[in-house]
Chains A and B, each alone.
Chain A
Amino acid sequence: MSTDVAAKPDMVTFTIDGTEVEVPKGTLVIRAAEKIGLEIPRFCDHPLLDPVAACRACLVEVPDAGNGRPMKPQPACALTAMPGMRIETAESNDKVAKHQKGMIEFLLINHPLDCPICDKGGECPLQNQTMSHGPGESRYEGAKRTYVKPIHISAELLLDRDRCVLCQRCSRFSSQISGDDFISLAERGAMSQISIYEDQPYTSYFAGNIVQICPVGALTSADYRFQSRPFDLVSTTTTCENCAAGCELRVDHRHYSVRRRLAGADPEVNEEWNCDKGRFGYRSAQDGRRLTTPLVRRDGRLEPASWHEAIDAAVTGLKAAGQAVGVLPGGHLTLENAYAWSRFARAVLGTDDIDFRSRPSSDEEAGFLAAHVAGRGLGESVTYADLEKARRVVLVSFEPEDESPIVFLRLRKAWRKRGLEVVTLAPFSTRGSRKMGARLLPTAPGQEAARLTQLGADGGLDEDTIILVGERAATSPGALSAVVAQATTHGARFAWIPRRAGELAALEAGALPGLLPGGRPGTDPAARAEMAAAWGVRSLPDATGRDIGRIIEAATSGELKALVTGGIQEADLDDPRAFEDALDGVGFVLSLEQRPSDVTERADVVLPVALLEEQAGTFINWEHRTRPVALINAANQAPMTDVRVLAALADALGADLGMRSPAQAGADLAGLPDWAGARAGFEPQAPEAGPDGDGRGMLLASWRLLMDNSAALDGADFARAATQPLSVALSPADAEALGIAAGAPVSLSGPDGSMQLPARIEPDMMPGVVWAPLNSVEPLSVLLGAGPADRVQVEAARIAPPAQTVDQGGAA
C-alpha cells in the first residue's frame, strides 16, 4: 500500500451513522452504505439500473446535506454522496426505522402473503426484508386488490399482479438494459400494474432476467414455476455452455436433475445478466433420449452393448483404418476434453486430420485462427471492459444480439452510457443494431473485405477502434485477411468471436489441422518435437492434416477409412447431405455422443459420454478468459467423460493417452511449457471479385437467430416461442418490384427446394439482398440447397404459408 497522502480530488468523504466513509465522487449513498456493511432495505434499487426511487424503502435521514442544512428523508438509492454530508440510517435513528417499517407495511397491505405456495418464498427480498426491517404484524384490515392470476406476459413468463410491488425493475431492465421496451406500467394509482402492449408482444432474448431481478414472486417462468423450493435446491456456480460469452451461471439442481439456471454475477464478464438460451437451454438431456449405454451395429442395427464389446468393436474398426482416420470432435467441448481429442488424434491415431469446426469454415480461417487467435491469453486479448472503453467498435460478419448476446448487452450499455460508436457491416440495420445505435455500412454478403478496407481508407479505423469479427467471416473470402490488414494499418485492435462455447478451448488444445496445443504451429519441427516429447511418442504427423471439408471429401471418396466424431449436428454444416454421404460411405464411424443424433444413426459404434453438468472442466471465452465449469450433478449412472472414454480406447489400441480424467488432462495441459517459438504465419487471402453465379435472383444473407432450432434449446419450447415471428427481410424497392407487401407470404427457392415465410420490409436493406433465418424452420442448406452469399429466387408466394410457429419438436 502506498503511504502517499496526496489529495484525492475524485473522492468524497461523508458520514453514515457517524462512520466516516470515503467513496468515489458520484457514488450513491446506498452503495456507500453497502461498502461499510450496512444493509438498507430496498426493492426498486438495482445497481445496474438507473435509480427510480419509487419504493421508498431505503429512506434515510439527512441532518446535514453537506451544506449545513438538513433535507427531508431521502431515498438512499438516488441520493449522491456529498462532501461533509451526514446520513442516518435505522442503525442510529429511530425515525428511519419507523420509515422502513411503515413502507414495508404499505407494500404488504395489498400483498397476498401466499409465501407457502409462491416460488419466491425462501429467496424473496420482500419476505426477507419484512423479517429484517418490517413491522411484526400489519394494522391493515381493509380490502386487498385482486387480479386474475397468473397472466402470461409472454410464452415463457407469467405475472401474478397481486404479488407485484410496482418497483419497475422489470420494465426498467427491458427499456434500459436489453432495449426491448415492450413491458410497462399501465393504469394508475393503486390500480397500477405491469402490462404488455396489445399489439406488440414482449419478445426479448433476455426476458428471463426480469424473473431473476423481480424482488417478489410476481414474475415467474413457465420453466420453473412450481418446480421446486429454493431451500431444496443445491446451487453450483459454473459457466454457460451455450455460447462463447463465458457467462457465469448459478445452476440449481435437485434429485440429480437441474431445475433452473440463473445468471451469475461476474462484473468482468456478464455483470448480472444472461440470455434466455443460456438460462433455459438446459433441458435437452432431460427428454429421456439420453444415451447411457454403448451401442454397436450388428446386422445393420445399433444394439446396446457392454463397454468391453463396444471398445473391442471400436478398436477393430480403428485398427482396420490405420492412420486414415478423420477426427471431428465438435466445438462444444471443455478444454480438457478437447485436449484429450487432440492428443488422441495425434499421439494415438497418428493423424493430423482433426478439425473442431462443425460449421462453415475455410483455409483462410484456419490460418487466421492459428496465427492470430490460438496461444493467446486474456492479457493479449480484447475484453468486455475494452469494449466499454473503446471509442468505436466495428462489427464484421457479426450480429451480436444473435451470435453473442452478452457482447450485445455490453455494446448497448457503452452506447447508452458513453456514446460508443458502433459501426456494423451488414446488409441492413437489424433490431439489435438499432438498439446499439449502430451506424450501418451496407455490406452484401461476401463484400466484407472490400467494405472494411474502404472504411479504413475513409478514416473510420484508428487506435481507439476495436473490430469484432464473427465466425461467419469464414464464408466471406478475404474478410479475415482484411481484418488483420486494416487493424495493422490503422492500429486498431480486433477480436474473433465464435458462437460456440468450446471453440477457443479447442483451438488452445490444438484441435485444428496444423495446430498443436498452446498455439504451436504443427509445421514447426521444434513444436512437434516438444509435443512428441510431452506426449511420450517418437514423432507427430508432420504433414498438415485435412480440415473438416477435406475430411468429409476424403471419407466419401474412400481415402479415409474411418471417422471419429463427437457432438456434431448435421444442421450446423454447410452441406449436411455431403456429410451424410461421408458417414454412409466411410468404412467405419465411431461416435462419442450424449444423445441420439443423425450421426449416431449412421455410426458403427456409439460410445455415450457425460453431459457438461456431470463433469468439471474449463471453457475459454472469446476474451481468452478461463472460465471454470463445475461438476453439478454427480448422478451414479452418469457415463464417462470424453477424456475417460478416449483413454479407454487408447488403452485398447495399445497406446497411452496419458490421462484418465479431466483433472489429469488439465494438469497435463498446464504442465506444458509456454511456446517460445514463432506463431504460425498467416497468408492473407484476396477477396473474390464479386458474387458468383449468373446474377439472377437475389443474394442471400443469413445467420442463425439466437433462439432457433439449436439442439441446446430442445425442451425449452416456451423460450423458443417467446421470440419475434419468423420472416424474410426484403428491401422496399425489391418488395415493390416483386409485388410483396409487408406480412405477405414470400417464397425463396434454391437448387434443392423452396421455403415460405411472411415478408418483412426493412427500410435500409440493400436492394438485391434477401435475408432469411438460417436454422429456424429447417437449415437453409437442406431446404434450399443454398447458403449465405448464394443466389436464390424470390417471389410472392401464391399460397399463404401455414401459421408460422417454430418447430418445437426438436433439432432438425
Chain B
Amino acid sequence: MVDKLTPIVTAHWGEEGSWRLENYVSHGGYGAARKALTTMSSPDVISLVKDAGLRGRGGAGFPTGMKWSFIPQDNPNPKYLVVNCDESEPGTCKDMPMLMATPHTLIEGIIIACYAVNAHHAFVYVRGEVLHVIRRLRKAVAEAYEAGYLGADLFGTGYGLDVIVHAGAGAYICGEETALLDSLEGRRGQPRLRPPFPAVEGLYACPTVVNNAESIASVPAIVEHGAAWYQQMGTERSKGAMLYSVSGHVRRPGQFEAPLGITMRELIEMAGGIREGHELKFFTPGGSSTPIFTPEHLDVPLDYESVSAAGSILGTKALQCFDDTVSAVRTALRWTEFYKHESCGKCTPCREGSWWLVQTLRNIEAGKGSPGDVDKMLDVCDNVSMKSFCTLAEGFVACITSAVRHFRSEFEAGCNGTPAWELFPYEASALFAAPRELVTVTSTNEGGAA
C-alpha cells in the first residue's frame, strides 16, 4: 500500500469540531497571517508565493504569485480579492469539504493574499446551493472578526480587512471569473470581454485578483514553512501538494492530499481499489469538462504538464471513476445535459450546440440514432470547439469527443438500433440497489434522474 499523502490543508480535518476557531488556533492557526503582516512586506509575500511555485487550483494552473503581481499598485482605485468558491463542476468536490472542515484556513489565506495585493476588501463567492457550507463559512468569518483576525488594525499593524461571503444563485457559469464578477456586482452572470482583464478592471472596474479557494487555502502553509519546503513536493514544474478528489466506483472515495505527480493507480489503491468484481473503464482527471482517460493512463503523473501531454487537463483534480458497467453514451449525455442546462446563452455555439448535441445523444442513447450521427456530432463539436465566448462549451465538447474517441462502438450501436441501456443495464452501475420500477423509469428517452 502506497502512502504518499501529505496532509497540509487536510491535516486536522478529522478532529472534533475542526471548524471552530479555537481548534484552528490550537494548531498554530493565524500564525502565518501574523508572520506575513508583522514581518514581511507585501512584495515579499508575493515573491514567496512565486518562489514556492504555487499554481491556481481552479483548473487553469496559472501561477498564483504572478497573478498577484499583475495588480497595478499605482492604480488609485481600491484593490479587491475575490475568492472563487462557486464549485459546481460535476465531480469536483474539494472546496466544499475544506470549508466544512477548516474554514479558517481559507480566511487566513485571504488575510495574507489581501495583504500581498494591498486589498482591504475580500469577497468569497460561494455556490448558492450549499447552504450548510455558506452558514459554516459565515460563522467562521464572524468568529474571525470577533477574535480580531478580521476588521480594523490586524495584529496591531494598522492594516484592515473586511471579508464578505456572498452566496451565488445557482449558475455554473458564475464559476467563470468574469461572470462571477458580473454576478457579484448584481448583474446577470455572463462572462465579460477581455481585455480589460480583472487585474486591471475587475470588480466595480477596480483591480481585482480572482483566486480559487484551494489556492488561497494553500497560502498559509507556504508562509509558515517557506518556499523551499513547498518546493520539495511535486514535480519539476508543478510544485507542492493538492487535493485529489476520488469519487465513483472505488471502494473508499474521498479527498487525498498528495504531491503533484501522484498517479491514478496510486490514488485508486489508496481509495481501496475499484469496487468488488469490476474493473476501471474510464475516469476524468479533472472533472467532467476534461477529456476522459482510460486504464492506459493510470500511470500518467497527475501534474499540469503530464496530464496535458496525455491529452487532457488536470482541471480541478476531480477523479471520477467509472467501472465496466457504465455506458460511455449515457455518461456523455448526462454531462452534456448538465452543460446545456448551465450554458448562459450569451454566445451562439455554446447555447445552440449544447441544445443540439443533447438531442443527438438522446437519440443515440435510445438506439434511435441514424447512421452518420456520430460523425455529424463530432463535426458539430468541431464547430463549437474554440469558438465559444468562454470555456464552458469546451466541457461538453471534451466529454463527447473523448468518449467517442475511446468508445466509438457504443455510439455506433446507438445509431444502429441498440439502446445504451441494453448494452449496459443502468442498474448495474448503481452503487446502491434501487427499486426495479425506478430503474425502469429512467431507462426511457427522457434522460431523467437515476
Interface stretch of the complex, out of B276-284, B312-320, B381-389, B423-431: B381-389
Q: Which of B193, B345, B360, B388 contacts A78 (CB 8 A)?
A: B193
CA distance A105 to B340 in the complex (A): 18
A255 proximity list for chain B (CB < 8 A): none
| Residue total for A at the interface (Cβ-Cβ under 8 A) | 35
Decide if B38 is an interface residue (CB 8 Å cutoff): no
A109 and B355 contact, CB distance less than 8 A: yes
Chosen A-B contacts, 21 in total, with CB atoms closer than 8 Å, are: A55-B348, A73-B387, A78-B193, A99-B387, A102-B380, A103-B348, A103-B349, A105-B383, A106-B349, A106-B352, A106-B383, A107-B348, A188-B171, A189-B340, A189-B342, A189-B343, A189-B345, A190-B340, A190-B345, A190-B352, A192-B344
B4 on the A face (CB < 8 A): no
The complex places the Cα of A627 from the Cα of B86 at a distance, in Å, of: 57
Closest residue of chain A to B372 (Cβ to Cβ) is A139
A57 at the interface (CB under 8 A from B): yes
- Determine if B5 is an interface residue (Cβ-Cβ < 8 Å): no
- Across the interface, which residues of A come within 8 angstroms of B380, CB to CB? 102
Q: Smallest CB–CB gap between B271 and chain A, Å?
A: 35
Could you tell me the distance between the alpha carbons of A143 and B358 in the complex, rounded to whole angstroms? 11
Q: Which residues of B contact A51 (CB under 8 A)?
A: 193
* Nearest B residue to A187, CB-CB: B345
Cα of A57 to Cα of B347 in the assembled complex, Å: 10
Looking at the complex, which one of B344, B347, B348, B389 makes contact with A188 (CB distance below 8 Å)? B344
With A and B bound together, what is the CA distance between A51 and B384 in angstroms? Answer: 21
CB distance from B105 to the nearest CB of A (A): 33
Q: Is B405 an interface residue (CB 8 A)?
A: no
Contacts of A192 in B (CB 8 A): 344-346, 351
Distance of A218 Cα from B193 Cα, bound (Å)? 25
With known contacts A190-B340, A190-B343, A110–B383 Cβ distance under 8 A:
no
CB neighbours of A55 from chain B (8 A): 347-348
Mark out the residues of chain B between 147 and 167 whose CB falls within 8 Å of any chain A CB in the assembled complex: none
Q: Given that A56-B388, A142-B360 are contacting pairs, would A99 and B383 also be in contact in the complex, using a CB cutoff of 8 Å?
A: yes
Query: In the bound complex, what is the Cα–Cα distance between A409 and B188 (angstroms)?
Result: 26
Which secondary structure characterizes the binding site on chain B? helix
Contacting residue for A110 out of B342, B355, B360, CB 8 A: B355
Is B354 touching A190 in the complex (CB atoms < 8 A)? yes
Report if A224 contacts B (CB, 8 A). Answer: no
- Assess the A102–B383 pair: CB atoms within 8 A: yes
* CB of B169, distance to nearest CB on chain A (Å): 11
Interface residues of B in 353-381 (CB under 8 A from A): 353-356, 359-360, 376, 380
Further contacts, 9 of them, CB under 8 A, given A54-B389, A106-B356, A188-B344: A51-B193, A98-B382, A99-B383, A102-B384, A103-B349, A105-B383, A106-B348, A190-B354, A192-B345
Flag if B386 contacts A56 (CB, 8 Å). Answer: no
* Chain B residues within an 8 Å CB radius of A52: 193, 346
Contacting pair A98 B383 (CB below 8 A): yes
Determine how close the nearest CB of chain B comes to the CB of A231; give it in whole angstroms: 28
Chain A positions 171-225 with a Cβ under 8 Å from a chain B Cβ:
184-185, 187-192
- Does A166 sit within 8 A of B, measured CB to CB? yes
B132 contacts chain A at the CB level, 8 A cutoff: no
Cα–Cα distance between A73 and B353 once the two chains are bound (Å): 17
Shortest CB distance A412–B (Å):
19
Given the known interface contacts A53-B193, A73-B387, the answer about A189 and B341 at a Cβ–Cβ threshold of 8 Å is yes
Residues of A within 8 Å of B355, CB to CB, are 109-110, 142, 145, 189-190
Q: Does A140 contact B (CB under 8 A)?
A: yes
Q: When A and B form their complex, which 4 residue pairs have the shortest distance between CB atoms, in order from nearest?
A: A102-B383, A192-B345, A106-B352, A142-B359
Cα distance A109–B380 in the bound complex, in angstroms: 12
* CB <8 Å contact, A143 and B359: yes
A165 in contact (CB, < 8 A): yes
Give A589 to B349 CA distance when docked, in angstroms: 69
Contact between chains at A56 and B349 (CB < 8 Å): yes
Instruction: Give CA–CA (A184, B346) in the complex, Å.
Output: 12
Q: Which residues of A contact B349 (CB under 8 A)?
A: 56, 102-103, 106
Please, how many angstroms separate the alpha-carbon atoms of A599 and B346 in the complex? 56
**Does the CB pair A190–B376 fall under 8 Å?**
no
Distance of A105 Cα from B173 Cα, bound (Å): 24
CA A666 to CA B165, docked complex, whole Å: 72
Q: Is the CB of B389 within 8 A of A106?
A: no
Contacts of A187 in B (CB 8 A): 345
Q: How many A-B residue pairs have CB under 8 A?
A: 97
Instruction: Please indicate the chain A residues that have their CB under 8 angstroms from the CB of B345 in the complex.
Output: 166, 185, 187-192
Q: Which residues of B contact A811 (CB under 8 A)?
A: none
Contact with A along B385-414 (1 / 0, CB 8 A): 011110000000000000000000000000
Distance between B349 CB and nearest chain A CB, rounded to angstroms: 6
Given contacts A52-B193, A78-B193, A98-B383, contact A189 B344 (CB under 8 A): yes
Closest to A166 in B: B345
A187 to B189 Cα, complex, angstroms: 11
Chain A 699-738 per-residue mask, 1 if CB under 8 angstroms from chain B, else 0:
0000000000000000000000000000000000000000
- A140 close to B347 (CB less than 8 A): no
Whether A72 sits at the interface, judged by CB under 8 Å, is yes
Residue with the highest number of chain A CB atoms closer than 10 Å, among B346, B356, B360 = B346
- Among B348, B359, B387, residue most surrounded by chain A Cβ atoms (within 10 Å): B348
**Which residues of the other chain, A, contact B356 by a CB distance below 8 angstroms?**
106, 109, 140, 142
Name A's interface SS. loop
Determine the distance from Cα of A98 to Cα of B193 in the docked complex, in whole angstroms.
24
Q: Does A59 touch B at the CB level, under 8 Å?
A: yes
- The smallest C-beta distance from B388 to any residue of chain A, in angstroms, reads 7
Binary flags per residue of B159-198, CB closer than 8 Å to A gives 1, else 0:
0000000000001010000000000000010000100000
When distances are taken between beta carbons in the complex, the residues of chain A under 8 Å from B342 are 188-189
Known contacts A54-B389, A99-B383; A184 and B188 CB within 8 A of each other = yes
Give A61-75 interface residues, CB cut-off 8 Å to B.
72-73
Residues of B within 8 A of A188 (CB): 171, 173, 342-345
Please determine whether B386 and A72 come into contact, CB atoms closer than 8 angstroms.
yes
Report B-chain residues with C-beta under 8 Å of the C-beta of A185.
188, 345
Q: Which residues in A have their C-beta under 8 angstroms from that of B340?
A: 189-190
Cα of A56 to Cα of B346 in the assembled complex, Å: 10
Check B352–A109 contact: CB distance below 8 A.
Answer: yes
Interface residues of A in 90-141 (CB under 8 A from B): 98-99, 102-103, 105-107, 109-110, 139-140
Q: In the complex, which residues of chain A have a beta carbon less than 8 angstroms from the beta carbon of B387?
A: 56, 59, 73, 99, 102-103
- CB <8 Å contact, B193 and A166: no
Quick check: A53 and B389 within 8 Å, CB to CB?
Answer: yes
CB nearest to A191 among chain B residues: B345
The digit string for A242-286, where 1 denotes a CB below 8 A from any CB of B, is 000000000000000000000000000000000000000000000
Given known A-B contacts A52-B193, A53-B389, A110 and B343 have beta carbons under 8 A apart: no
Q: Give the shortest distance, in Å, between A62 (CB) and chain B (any CB).
A: 12
Min CB distance B151 to A, Å, is 34
Contact at B360–A103, with CB atoms within 8 Å?
Answer: no
When the two chains form their complex, are residues B389 and A56 in contact, meaning their CB atoms are under 8 A apart?
A: yes
Which of A98, A99, A107 meets B352, CB within 8 Å? A107
**Chain A proximity of B139: nearest CB distance (Å):** 32
B382 / chain A contacts, CB cutoff of 8 Å: 98, 102
Look across to chain A and name the residue whose beta carbon is closest to the beta carbon of B187. Answer: A184
CA separation between A142 and B310, bound complex, in Å?
35
Bound CA–CA A57/B351 (angstroms): 14
Q: How far is the CA of A54 from the CA of B346 in the complex (A)?
A: 6
Closest A residue by C-beta to B188? A185
CA A54 to CA B347, docked complex, whole Å: 4
Q: How far is the CA of A190 from the CA of B343 in the complex (A)?
A: 8
Among residues of B, the one whose C-beta sits closest to the C-beta of A98 is B383
B348 touches A56 (CB 8 A): yes
A750 and B347 CA atoms in complex are apart in Å by 58
* CB of B440 to closest CB in A, whole Å: 25
Bound CA–CA A106/B382 (angstroms) = 12
What CA separation (Å) do A629 and B205 show in the bound complex? Answer: 46
In angstroms, Cα B343 to Cα A618, docked, is: 53
What distance in Å separates the Cβ of B318 from its nearest Cβ neighbour in chain A?
A: 23
CB-based contact B386/A73 at 8 Å: yes
**CB-nearest residue of chain A relative to B341?**
A189
